Structure 1
Amino acid sequence: MKKIYFLCTGNSCRSQMAEGFAKKLLKNTVQIRSAGIEQHGVNPDAIKVMAEVGIDISDHTSDLIEMDYFNACDLIITLCGDARDKCPVIPKTTQHEHWAIKDPAGHSLEEFRLVRDEIYKKVKTLDL
């Protein structure tokens, strides 16, 4: 089974939303996780806006990058420049995509919705 890792700074918003969408859209065809270079806890506003589209991420945890999984991934997606710049060296055999997505933390629910919708569009186009 292929493995995808969504990475952002604190594993609180963007990577959590990406994980939620990927698990729903890709079902059981791919193993999916998210993590951060830091742990900030899952943002309550990310939970709210995902619930609006029928995806429950309330049981997600904010995790640090787990190196065994990282090194075994087929695709690593960084969702911010901080994660791209600070994540461990991506193995040459691993595909890497960078999605420069604005951090909605500290902004309005409307900003969270815009980020959520942008992530949804990108996850929908993943070709595995």
Structure 2
Amino acid sequence: MKLNKKVLILCTGNSCRSIMAEALINAKLGECVEAQSSGVKASGTVNPNAQALLESKGYWRDEYHSKVIETVLDTPFDLVVTVCDHAKETCPMFPKAVKTIHIGFDDPSGKAVEEYEKTLNLIEKELLPVVKEELC
């Protein structure tokens, strides 16, 4: 059995963008990639609007939660993607050299619900093809 490649989606709070990207990648590219997400300064909570949107699309899994970077540092990732500028600047060094790319998205937190859907669509349009090309 071929082992799936692993991608880490890194953000600051791991409550919105990185969780949405993790869920999208697992839903759409799950046959070849396993996504995880974490935060440089994890908030500890998933944004309720992001979760509701993912649930409405059928992408949500109960295991998704906001987690700190230390919980995933020992995982051998094939690719790390930062989705916010702060995470890009503070991205830690992983024990083994791993390709890191940055594809930034504006944080919809605190904005109208429609902004979450826009962000999710942008992630699907801009991030998924890159992950697919790199790892599938």
How high is the TM-score relative to the length of structure 1?
0.88
Residue of structure 2 in register with 1:104 after alignment? 108
The partner residue of 2:123 within 119, 122, 127 is: 119
Q: How does 1:12-91 map onto structure 2 within 5 Å?
A: 12-40=15-43, 41-57=45-61, 59-65=63-69, 66-69=72-75, 72-89=76-93
Structure 2 unaligned residues grouped into runs of 5+:
none
Amino acid across the alignment from 2:98: T
**Alpha-carbon distance in 2 for matches of 1:99, 1:124:** 11
Amino acid across the alignment from 1:17: M
Moved more, 96-105 or 22-31: 22-31
**Alpha-carbon distance in 2 for matches of 1:111, 1:28:** 29
Moved more, 50-59 or 95-104: 50-59
Residue of structure 2 in register with 1:8 after alignment? 11
**Alpha-carbon distance in 2 for matches of 1:78, 1:90:** 13
Amino acid across the alignment from 1:9: T
**Conserved 8 A contact 2:80-2:99:** yes
Aligned length: 126
Moved over 4 A (4+): none
How high is the TM-score relative to the length of structure 2?
0.84
Q: Post-superposition shift, 1:89?
A: 2.5
Percent of pairs with identical residues: 35
The Cα offsets for residues 59-93 of structure 1, whole Å up to 9 and x where unpaired, read as 41100112102xx2110000001001112025784
